[in-house]
A and B are shown apart, each in its own frame.
Chain A
């Protein structure tokens, strides 16, 4: 099998180039963020932490960072229990109606984000939720639910419901048996789902663009506005930090997933 025919070499080369195309733009922001000059130059001159200092020293960027982290944390706190409850209902119900409910809960993945964003903006404008923290959190809970539900439904599929039956036949209430027997075994999938909901809230841009304002503007909105005007290397520093945070979280999610089998 191990022959080095020209076709095989061409195939390996092609795949390597595609993988390079995939990963290079993600990596390129790292050296950019450590550059000492405002304009990108090749080869890069000297290294500096200038853009990180610029980011940390800027009150507007810091306020936006606080907003993003608060929104993402609150999103996880709300979306996780709602998503777990819904996933449990989906997995344990044989109702036909439940299939429709499941599909509806996946709507945020299907509807183009710009339509969702403009629709929410219309509704928020009527009820006075534009430029508020609660408005931002609610929208992100909606967007994060499918991630929690998908992950937990998958987790419940590999869980044997007979175990919960046994606990209940021994006199435990349904609620207690869920917390004592089921939850510990689907822990990893719950964690994965909530991590993805966190990343989704942290990266969310389009809805925030329409419904946020004033002091409650997330990081992505400020970045988007800054990008329209000029290439500010501060954004490279912020991007590097955001990417590092995402990678770290995905790494945690995937190692936990493996441990629990």
Chain B
């Protein structure tokens, strides 16, 4: 059986395990062992700022996605079948649209001469165009948009399995709709919340295209730090060290969450 899996495994070993291992090696070895690359990250302000900005943005994006995604998933699990198919289709269609295409669409919507600014000016709501993009705001709006399906789908998968009888039982015992929601439905949906928030947070930590195109050079997330060190400064060691720290953060989060819910439940979504 192992033999059947070995061609696929070989591809994975050569094209992701080896490259990432090489990256880790380069971060500590340059004509001898050195921790210089890591020392720099912890001492230089720009690295530290980028890491904390990335975590802040990821936290904000995750919260917003939960706030927007929970009601959608709830609606999809509570309405009759025809409606829930429609809701899920509206969630899944953007999911299968290229991230690059969606970043472009947001650029077109949010820029100074973009659709939203022109719309608002046309109707006289604003005089001067608003600065909606090339900043953190634009990055967050587009990132939430791209990651929202990753929140809704695990939430929906969990909610769908909550038996309706439980809510009816709660209601027949005199619980008001809001009471049965808070005391029965919400606690039972928590595994989905954990799966969705973990997925969105971790994916956001590694986001590259969206902040690069919509951040306007000011929102330097960790991924951009990696790419700049490679492309602009040719600092492979520094890029590798930043990458290793990002990877450790991601694995640590998966390990911690994996103690509460099985990991394939989080990853089975996409």
Residues on A facing B (Cβ under 8 Å): 11, 14-15, 18-19, 21-26, 28-29, 32, 39-43, 82-83, 85-86, 88-90, 92-93, 95, 97-98, 101, 103-116, 118-123, 138-139, 141-142, 145, 147, 149-150, 199, 202-203, 205-206, 210, 220, 223-224, 227-228, 231, 235-236, 239, 242-243, 246-247, 250
Contacts and interface: CB of A to CB of B under 8 A. Distances in A.
B190 interface: no
Contact of A112 (B26, B97, B206): B206
14 contacts: A22-B90, A22-B91, A42-B118, A43-B122, A89-B4, A98-B2, A109-B267, A113-B208, A114-B206, A118-B240, A121-B230, A147-B270, A210-B227, A224-B209
Given A104-B12, A110-B202, A114-B243, 8 more contacts: A25-B94, A40-B113, A105-B5, A122-B19, A199-B96, A203-B98, A236-B108, A246-B98
Contacts of A236: 104, 108
B188 interface: no
A92 B96 contact: no
B2 A203 contact: no
Contact of B11 (A89, A138, A150, A224): A138
Interface bracket on B: 35 or more
Contacts of B263: 103
Contact of B2 (A40, A95, A227): A95
Contact of A90 (B5, B114, B118): B5
A247 B96 contact: yes
Interface in B116-150: 118-119, 122, 145, 148-149
A28 B109 contact: yes
Contacts of A18: 68-69, 71-72, 148
Contact of A42 (B96, B119, B243): B119
Contacts of B4: 85-86, 88-89
Tell me which of B92, B99, B251 has the highest count of chain A C-beta atoms within 10 A of its own C-beta: B99
B105 interface: yes
Given A83-B8, A114-B206, A228-B213, A242 B19 contact: no
B101 A29 contact: yes
Nearest to B4: A89
B145 A25 contact: yes
Contacts of A106: 264, 267
Given A42-B119, A119-B20, A122-B23, A239 B105 contact: yes
B246 interface: yes
B97 A246 contact: yes
A228 B17 CA distance: 31
A235 B104 contact: yes
B183 to A, nearest CB: 18
Interface in B1-49: 1-5, 7-9, 11-20, 22-23, 26
B101 A239 contact: yes
Interface of B: 1-5, 7-9, 11-20, 22-23, 26, 68-69, 71-72, 75, 87, 90-94, 96-109, 111, 113-115, 118-119, 122, 145, 148-149, 202, 205-206, 208-209, 213, 223, 226-227, 230, 236, 239-240, 243, 246-247, 250-251, 254, 263-264, 267-268, 270
Scoring B11, B17, B18, B230 by chain A CB atoms within 10 A of each residue's CB, the highest score goes to B11
Contacts of B90: 19, 22-23
Contact of B5 (A14, A101, A205, A210): A101
Nearest to B8: A86
A42 B209 contact: no
Contacts of A101: 2, 5, 9
A223 B206 contact: no
CB-based closest 9 A-B pairs:
A112-B206, A119-B19, A86-B8, A42-B118, A25-B105, A203-B98, A142-B15, A89-B5, A89-B4
A15 B22 CA distance: 46
Contacts of B114: 40
A111 B23 contact: no
B213 to A, nearest CB: 6
A23 B223 contact: no
Nearest to A150: B268
Given A90-B5, A145-B11, A250 B20 contact: no
B8 to A, nearest CB: 4
* Among B8, B13, B71, B96: residue with most chain A CB under 10 A: B8
A107 B2 contact: no
Nearest to A154: B268
A28 B18 CA distance: 41
Given A107-B12, A114-B206, A250 B92 contact: yes
